[in-house]
Amino acid sequence: MIVYPMHYLNHEGLSPPLVLVMISDARVFRAFRLWNPPEDVLNEVEGVRIKLVEVPVSEYSSRTGLHLVKPLHVKPFLVRSCCDYYIFEPLFMFISRAHGKRKYYDTADEIFSDAVEHYLYSVAPDKPAPRRVGAFCWRVRRGYDMCLLLRPATVEEFLEEAQRFTAAHFLELVPYLKEV
């Protein structure tokens, strides 16, 4: 059994990890919400390196089709009828409006290229570039304006991180968990 923080990804971006999931079998998920955790507990939950993210199928495209979330070079490690689950290490959130210009990109590939270039030359110039880089790109009415660069993680990396997190923090989290 493992317990691990889970984020939700939607049209707004990535939510804080206020839900923990219990995985005791590949088919069994139980969700618990963190209620009023102290700051140190919240920091431990937010500080995990590998993120577990749920994307409801309805969030890939809005009903009108004007808002999209497009995954690039990343595949879900678990697909269910209602949602997809991804595991990755976030690298950098590129928001075109936050960099002194209000630019909208026509395609997800364009914003992805600019985000990778900005990451490699401005954010992490002395770090070695990851071998694989993926992204989630957000599209609004005018075009793509936000891109989360990530390094896709393997299931083995996730399980190792989840076992470490469960062993280190499960007992201190129990008082703040309520079943969803």
Rounded-to-integer distance, Cα 176 and Cα 94, Å: 33
Q: Match 């399980």 to its residue by tokens.
A: 159
Rounded-to-integer distance, Cα 23 and Cα 1, Å: 6
Alpha helices in 34-144 (DSSP H): 39-46, 108-118
List pLDDT tens digits, range 18-43: 788 877 666 557 788 888 888 888 88
DSSP per-residue string spanning 108-120: HHHHHHHHHHHII
- Tell me what the mean pLDDT of segment 150-167 comes to: 92
DSSP category for residue 153: P
List pLDDT tens digits, range 125-138: 888 888 899 999 99
pLDDT at position 144 over 70: yes
Rounded-to-integer distance, Cα 158 and Cα 50, Å: 6
Q: What's the predicted TM-score (pTM) here?
A: 0.87
List pLDDT tens digits, range 91-110: 999 988 765 667 889 999 99
Rounded-to-integer distance, Cα 67 and Cα 140, Å: 5
* Residue from 61, 150, 60, 143 nearest 96 by CA: 143
